Amino acid sequence: MERRDFLKVSASIAALSSITACNTTSEDSEEVKELAPEEVTTMSSCNVNCKATCPLVITTVDGIITKVTPETTTIDSEDGFVIRQQRPCARGHSAKQKIYNPDRILHPLKRIGERGSGQFEQISWDQAFSEIGVKLKNIYDTYGSRSVFNLAGSSLGAIHSPTPINNLLNVMGGYTGLFSSMSFSQVEKIMPYMYGTRPYSSIVESKFSDLYLFFGFNPLETGASGAGYGFEWQHVKGDTPVICFDPRYTDSMLGREESHYFVRPGTDAALCEAMAHHLISTDQVDTSFLKEKCYGFWAEPEMPDPHNPSLTLPAVPYEECYEAHILGIKDGIAKTPEWGSKITGVPAETIREVANRLAQAKAPFVIAGWSIQRQLNGEDNIRAISTLSLMVGAVGKRGTTNGDMAFSEIATTNAFFVLPSVPANEKNAKVRMAAWPRAILDGENMTVIKDDIILPPDEIDSRGDGKLGANIKCAWVRGGNHLGQQGDTFKIAKELKDQTNVELIINIENHMSSTAMYSDYVLPEMTWYEQTDLPWSNLQSGSMPFVIATTGIPRIGDTKSTWEICEGIAKVLGIESEFSMGMTPTQVLEHGYQVLRMFHPELPSTLSEMQEKQIFKFANPCDDSESSAIRHCAMYEYVTNGGLLNTASGKIDIYSHKLRELAEKNQIPDYWRSTDYINPIAKYMVVPGGYEDSDLVSNYPLQLVNFHAKSNVHSGYTNSQWLKDAMRRAAWVNPSDASGFKDGDQIVIESSFGKIQVEARVTQRVMPGVISYGQGFKFTPVGDLDIGGNFNSLTSHTMTSTVAKGTGVNSNRVRIYKA
Ligand SMILES: Nc1nc2c(c(=O)[nH]1)N[C@H]1C(S)=C(S)[C@@H](COP(=O)(O)OP(=O)(O)OC[C@H]3O[C@@H](n4cnc5c(=O)[nH]c(N)nc54)[C@H](O)[C@@H]3O)O[C@H]1N2
Ligand SMILES: Nc1nc2c(c(=O)[nH]1)N[C@H]1C(S)=C(S)[C@@H](COP(=O)(O)OP(=O)(O)OC[C@H]3O[C@@H](n4cnc5c(=O)[nH]c(N)nc54)[C@H](O)[C@@H]3O)O[C@H]1N2
Ligand code: SF4
Ligand SMILES: [Mo]
């Protein structure tokens, strides 16, 4: 008997017993107790991509969830700060709503209406496997492997992941995959030009700090778990003052701040330049730090290349260095606080005051969220913030960071990347996550330099360039809602509707997402809660790494895992053993677990012992020790002990020769508004959709910027009625911009890309001239209006940032009016 059936039977028996129990004597009560419904508790986790991976204890009776509670594995013993209880947020607690939501997909579906119509018929798994097998093979034969795109999303388990799809497609001859993320592509790409790597401090490092300076950093809403980096920040913050620049007054403030200032979206680089001007003109820069550890703040002489002394590193003439830029030596524009104030909306006096505070602090923790780099000038926004920290010597010393988001220790992840898998096909190419929609019509012309694609080495020419050479003909989607989550949803939807573009869309999903609505086959996967796996701590989990052994509640519906789905298709194609490498999923997981143990021998010796233990938490204290400093403080080793960084100069490159060379190769795109594009030093630039975009200002008078809302994680949890009731989903409008409507009214937000209808929240908590709205709501087009209020119905994917070619969804101008 299947466990589920067994549970059902035992529950029915229990129900019967309770009726009989009315007439029983006390002697019978023992029997009644035995037959009571079986309450089962299961360790599970919330793997939605909020990057915290909280454990969840799920209690079921007869396979049906009755409770979702936090784990308590260390509550009576070691619970404290270093080893602590991992408490989920309101979203995690609403897991039951997510699992039983009516939009849950419980049977394989085949599209029968046009894409987007939502018309599907239920089919058997056998039919799904055989039809997909034939169609997939046909695409490989007709268009080649590069036209098969694996659009993997952000679901985070070990085996419960896109790995089985990679395996299947590698056996079939390869595929085009995705790399990087919508989260932090600009900062990830640009930091190595400055530091040779992407350094970051843990948030707990800030316990040694005496000032927080936030640029769009909102830890209590983006790191909401009761143990993650928001929790840690509150724990270590104490009385340390916080100064925050954000176009919105966020929940991270609410009295925790010393000062909060509105700043116009996309203008942080100008704000930093204006502060830099004040620091220079009041002689407050850390001269010895800039000379010893950094390169290009001032002029630099020609010298031998530190990595290869037989080559020469060219000079940096004074007019090209950072100081000259700030003083306006070349362009005649001194970046004074008054200059900065006009662009940023921050009063000049405030700019001076904050710059003074920064210079006077011993260990300022200068930190930016990632929204500021999800813009067309994102690389320079984050680099300007990092440069500001360098100017006051606030990098590499205890209590400091380098401007990037302070994320968590994730040492445990290393091992998971060595789960046994089919070797990657040597012909595989990759496109950036944010760039895939461009491959629908123009993949053939996407190149390394223009689009930052990754090609096999033998396809790269002497200039370092090469072409993708294929459009998407087949798209696999799993764990991502790419139609709604990437720029210009209306355009993507239109292109997907024409089946001569992408001929086959296979989507492995839990819910009827907007992307599923446009898919040809929607294959239901069981949720994380129903899976046996080994999820682990992630970027926003906090500094205590952990591994969770989930064992899964009974499955509902006729669902399968991604492994089972790919295995079914492989069987039809006669490549089952190549796909599975002769292993079962359990064996793959066991193997992965043993690799993990090689990194962490302290873990229980077998997977089943680990499953009994449920969670393993690794102590990772942040204290005075050298090892702790190296682990938690960005650039500590280099600043303390010196060394040669993997940058052009071998030091921290405020001026980057590598970027100068890259600029020479890149053509400035037609849509660009500024004469600057890729810059050797960080510069504020006027960008399309930015504050100073004069082409759009008159038609679209307001700036639009989104945030990652409390009520949802991207499009995950958006369907939970509890969360909808608890947290209002509305566009924030300053009273001065609310003309013709009032709080609670439905309004239309319209950009040059599309329009959406949403509720207005009229509030002083958003800057005048700025509309701020959460992202992740379901694309629901009615004609040319999206009544679901999906943010990306207003954004672009054809315009990209400069170096990373990352998403510019936050560089946006709109008009608003009553619906
Ligand atoms: N305008 C704008 N757009 C943005 C952002 C922004 O700030 N502004 N943020 C960007 C960022 S940072 C990110 S990370 C992306 C996120 O974008 P996505 O990675 O697309 O994330 P989700 O919207 O959460 O979509 C996840 C999908 O996977 C499904 N899913 C969840 N778990 C499972 C599972 O176990 N198995 C399967 N098969 N499916 C599952 C969910 O039902 C959901 O449809 O969005 C980006 N898009
Ligand atoms: N609740 C919740 N938490 C999440 C997620 C979620 O969807 N929901 N997603 C997770 C994921 S995948 C990611 S990548 C992270 C995202 O983390 P972030 O990208 O840091 O989060 P955002 O909310 O987009 O932006 C943070 C703040 O920046 C402000 N801001 C926007 N533009 C600017 C600007 O130009 N200048 C300044 N100074 N501030 C600006 C916004 O108003 C917002 O308050 O969050 C993670 N956590
Ligand atoms: S903080 Fe993130 S991972 Fe944790 S329960 Fe909430 S949504 Fe899930
Ligand atoms: Mo993200």
Please report, for residues 242, 269, 543, 700, the alpha-carbon distance to residue 344 in angstroms, rounded to integers and kept in the order given.
20, 9, 34, 18
Is residue 246 within 8 Å of residue 263, measured between CB atoms? yes
Short-list 434, 530, 527, CA closest to 482: 434
Cα torsion 579, 582, 586, 589: sign: negative
The pLDDT score that the predictor gives to residue 16 is 31
pLDDT band at 14 (very low <50, low <70, confident <90, very high): very low
Ligand nearest to the CA of 371: 2
Fold agreement (185-408+626-665, 702-818):
no
CA of 537 relative to ligand 3 center, distance in Å: 11
**Is the CB of 48 within 6 Å of ligand 3?**
yes
For the chain, domain boundaries: 1-35, 109-179+422-537+552-582, 185-408+626-665, 702-818
Short-list 397, 396, 395, 398, CA closest to 386: 395
The pLDDT score that the predictor gives to residue 796 is 96
Give tens-digit pLDDT for 24-66. Answer: 334 444 444 556 678 999 999 998 888 899 999 999 999 999 9
The pLDDT score that the predictor gives to residue 26 is 41
The pLDDT score that the predictor gives to residue 419 is 78
Give tens-digit pLDDT for 165-191. Answer: 999 999 999 999 999 999 999 999 999
Cα torsion 381, 273, 629, 240: sign: negative
Strands 731-733 and 770-774: antiparallel
Tell whether the model's pLDDT for residue 11 goes beyond 60.
no
Residue with tokens 């003439």, as numbered in its chain: 317
Helix (H) or strand (E) holding 508: strand 504-509
Residue 495, Cβ neighbours under 10 Å: how many? 16
Tell whether the model's pLDDT for residue 2 goes beyond 60.
no
CATH of 702-818, one of 3.40.50.300, 1.10.3720.10, 3.40.50.360, 2.40.40.20: 2.40.40.20
Contacts 24+ apart (CB under 8 A), 589-592: 589/158, 589/159, 589/419, 589/532, 589/533, 589/534, 591/419, 591/420, 592/158, 592/159, 592/415, 592/416, 592/418, 592/419, 592/420, 592/534
The pLDDT score that the predictor gives to residue 152 is 86
Name residue 198's amino acid. Answer: R
Cα maximum dimension of the chain = 98
Report the SS3 class of residue 717.
Answer: coil
Q: Which residue has the higher pLDDT, 21 or 26?
A: 26
CA of 707 relative to ligand 2 center, distance in Å: 5
What residues have CB less than 8 Å from 122, skipping those under 6 apart?
A: 107, 108, 109
33 exposure class (CB count in 10 Å sphere: 0-12, 13-18, 19+):
exposed
Bridge partners, residue 759, by sequence: 746
Give tens-digit pLDDT for 236-274. Answer: 999 999 999 999 999 999 999 999 999 999 999 999 999
Ligand nearest to the CA of 152: 1
Residue 74 has phi, psi (to 5 degrees) of: -120, 15
134 exposure class (CB count in 10 Å sphere: 0-12, 13-18, 19+):
exposed
Is residue 738 within 8 Å of residue 807, measured between CB atoms? no
Give tens-digit pLDDT for 416-458. Answer: 556 789 999 999 999 999 999 999 999 999 999 999 999 999 9
The radius of gyration of the chain's CA atoms, rounded to the nearest angstrom, is 27
Short-list 691, 705, 703, 682, CA closest to 803: 682
Is residue 630 within 8 Å of residue 647, measured between CB atoms? no
Please report, for residues 528, 529, 613, the alpha-carbon distance to residue 551 in angstroms, rounded to integers and kept in the order given.
10, 8, 11
The pLDDT score that the predictor gives to residue 416 is 53
What residues have CB less than 8 Å from 694, skipping those under 6 apart?
A: none
SS (H, E, C) 127-143: HHHHHHHHHHHHHHHHH
Q: What DSSP string runs through 138-179?
A: HHHHHH-GGGEEEEE-----SSSSSHHHHHHHHHHT--EEEE
**Which residues are close to ligand 4, an ion, with C-beta < 5 A?**
183
Give tens-digit pLDDT for 178-229. Answer: 999 999 999 999 999 999 999 999 999 999 999 999 999 999 999 999 889 9
Give tens-digit pLDDT for 749-807. Answer: 999 999 999 999 999 999 999 999 999 999 999 999 999 999 999 999 999 999 999 99
Give tens-digit pLDDT for 490-503. Answer: 999 999 999 999 99
State the average pLDDT over residues 3-11: 36
Tell whether the model's pLDDT for residue 323 goes beyond 50.
yes
Q: Which residues line ligand 2 (CB under 6 A)?
A: 49-51, 183, 215-216, 218, 221-222, 224, 245-248, 250, 263, 265-266, 268, 369-372, 540, 705, 707-710, 713-714, 772, 776, 810
Strands 39-45 and 55-61: antiparallel
**Is the CB of 52 within 6 Å of ligand 3?**
yes
Please report, for residues 143, 294, 644, 656, the alpha-carbon distance to residue 308 in angstroms, rounded to integers and kept in the order given.
44, 19, 12, 17
pLDDT band at 722 (very low <50, low <70, confident <90, very high): confident
What residues have CB less than 8 Å from 294, skipping those under 6 apart?
A: 390, 651, 652, 653, 654
Residue 637, Cβ neighbours under 10 Å: how many? 15
The pLDDT score that the predictor gives to residue 598 is 87
Indicate the length of the chain as a whole number.
Answer: 819
Q: What CA–CA distance (Å, rounded) separates 800 from 574?
A: 42
The pLDDT score that the predictor gives to residue 155 is 65
**Is the CB of 809 within 6 Å of ligand 1?**
yes
pLDDT band at 410 (very low <50, low <70, confident <90, very high): low
335 exposure class (CB count in 10 Å sphere: 0-12, 13-18, 19+):
buried
Q: What CA–CA distance (Å, rounded) separates 204 from 235?
A: 9
Cα torsion 378, 383, 388, 389: sign: positive
299 exposure class (CB count in 10 Å sphere: 0-12, 13-18, 19+):
middle
Nearest CA to ligand 3 atom 6: 89
Kindly give the number of the ligand 2 atom that is closest to the alpha carbon of 711: 1
CA of 226 relative to ligand 3 center, distance in Å: 9
CA of 367 relative to ligand 2 center, distance in Å: 13
CA of 367 relative to ligand 1 center, distance in Å: 25
CATH of 185-408+626-665, one of 2.40.50.1070, 3.40.50.1820, 3.40.50.150, 3.40.228.10: 3.40.228.10
Give tens-digit pLDDT for 143-157. Answer: 999 999 999 876 677
Torsion, Cα of 62, 65, 67, 69 (10° steps)? 120
The pLDDT score that the predictor gives to residue 537 is 87
Note the CATH architecture for domain 109-179+422-537+552-582: 3-Layer(aba) Sandwich (3.40)
The pLDDT score that the predictor gives to residue 413 is 52
State the average pLDDT over residues 359-380: 97
- pTM, two decimals, is 0.94
Give tens-digit pLDDT for 57-113. Answer: 999 999 999 999 999 998 776 668 889 999 999 999 999 999 999 999 999 999 999
State the average pLDDT over residues 566-592: 95
**Is the CB of 50 within 6 Å of ligand 3?**
yes
Is residue 533 within 8 Å of residue 157, measured between CB atoms? yes
Report the SS3 class of residue 726.
Answer: helix
